[in-house]
Structure 1
Amino acid sequence: MREKFNKLLEKKGIIIAPGCYDALSAKIIENAGFECAYMTGFGSSAGLLGKPDVGLLSMEEMISNATRIVNAIDIPLIADADTGYGNPLNIIRTVKEYEKCGVAAIHIEDQVTPKRCGHMEGKEVIPAEEMAQKIKAAVDARENTDFKIIARTDARAVLGLDEAIRRAKLYREAGADIIFVESPYTVDEFKIISHEINAPLLANMAEGAKSPMLSAKELEDLGYKIVIYPVGLLFAAAKAMLSVAKEIRDKGTDRDMLNNMTSFKEFNDFIGLSEYNGMSNKYKTEA
C-alpha cells in the first residue's frame, strides 16, 4: 500500500481521500472507486466513543482502528496521528506502531495536548522548534521511507497565516514529506500557502467548517497534491441513521423506508458473505 501511495504522489493529478471512521466506511470508499482513504480522528472519536474530537482517544485506540481499516481495504490509508501522543520519545513509538499496522502515511500536528479538532475553537499550539524536533524524531523512527510523514500546523487560527507558513517551512526542513496547513480562511490563503511552501501540500475540506469548500480540481489548479474530505460520510450516515431511528420510534416500523436502504442481499454481497460461505464449505467437516 505504501508503494501504491508513493506512485500516486509521483503521478500527475491530485489524490482524493474521503474520510473513513471504521472498516465499513473504508470499504464504501474503496467500492466507490477511490484510490486512497483517510482515517479521520474526528470520526474515529465519534464512532468509537460517541464523543467529540478533543483528545480523548489514546494512541492504542487510534492504531487499533487503523489496523481494522487497513485489513478491510486494498487501497492506501492516510491516518490521523493527532499530536503524536507526547514528546519526541513518544513520537518514535507512535511512528513505529503506525508503520507496523500498515498505513501509508500519518499526519502529526503542532497542537498542545490534549488537542482539539482543527476547526474547533480554543486550540493552542506548542513552540515551533519543539514541533520541529518531533518531526525529526518521526523521520528518524520510520524503517521505510515509503512511509510518509505529514506535518500539520494549526497555527493559522491561533497565531495567523504568516506564522503558519513559517512553521510549515520549518517542519519541511525538519524532514516532513508533506505539509498540511490546517484551516485557511479564504481562497487567497490557499493560494498564498501554495506559493510560499515548496512541498507536496495537503488540503482539508472539512465539511461545513472554517475553510471554503473547494473542489479537487480547484485545489489541484492551486498546486495541492492531496485533498481529504474527512467527515462527509460520517455526517451523511448520522443523518440517515437518525431518520430511520425516528421512523421506527414514530411508526413502530421502518418498512416504508426500505427503498432508501441497501437491501439485505446487496449488503451481504458487499461485505463478502459469499466469500466466507465458500471458505466455510471448503473446510466443512464431512458427516
Structure 2
Amino acid sequence: MAQQRTCIITGSASGIGAATAALLRERGQRVIGVDLHDAEIVVDLSTHAGRAELVDRAAELSDGSVDAVIANAGLSSESTATVAVNYFGALATLEGLRPLLAASSAPRAVLTASMAALFPPDEELLEACLAHDEPAAVHRASELLDTGAGSAIYGTTKRALVRWVRRNAAAEEWAGAGIPLNAIAPGVIRTPMTSGLTATAEAERALLEMVPMPLNGIAEAATVASLLDYLTSAENSHLCGQIVYIDGGSDVVMRGDSVW
C-alpha cells in the first residue's frame, strides 16, 4: 500500500479545490483544506494576516511536514481582491509553506492558473505583480475598474502566475530542493465560479466562441482533480515549470505552432 501523503489545498470548499480534496481523500491521502468557510483552515488570503495565519495553522495541523501544496484559491470577479488572492495570495501560500515541504521525501507544488493567461494582459498590472509590489498592483487594478477595463484583471493575474512559475521553478529553492513546481491552466470548468456564464445553452455557446474547447467542450472539476492528483504524486519527479493546459484545446486553437 502506498504511503499516505499530506496535501494542503487552498480554495478547497468548492469547484476544483473541492473535487481535488474529495479525490485525494478517496485515495487515502490526508488533505488539509483552506478556504473562507468549510475548511480545516479558515482564512482570507486577500489579507496579510490571513496568509500568516495559513502558515501558522498549516505547520500546527501537519506537525511540520507537508508532501504537497496546491495553491488553487482564486477569484474571477472584477475587483482588487482578485489581484490580492489570485497572485499575491497564491505566492504567499507557496513560499510560506515551502519550509513544510522540506521534510517530505517527495515534495510537490502546483498552482492553478488559467487559459485566460493567453489573453492580452494589462502590462502595468502585470509588471506590478511580477515586481511583488502589491500596493502598486492593487492601485492599478483600481484604475482599470475606474476606466471600465476591469475585465483585464483576472487574465493578467493568471499571466503573472505562469510567468512566476517559469522564472522560479528551476531555482535553488524549488528544483534545487527537489520540489517540482508546476501550474495547471484550465479552460472553462463547471464550478460555482462559472455558473453565471454557463446558465443557458446560448450563454455556453457565446462563452465557447471566446474560449474554444473543441475536445469535449466544458469540463467537470473532477477532470482537473485527476491531473492535480498526478502532479502532486511521488511519481511526478521531473515535470519542472510546466503550465499544463487542461482546456479542451483552447491553447492549440489560439496559439497554433507556438511552443510558449
Q: Of the two structures, which has the highest relative contact order with CA contacts closer than 8 Å and spacing of 6 or more?
A: 2
Larger Rg: 1
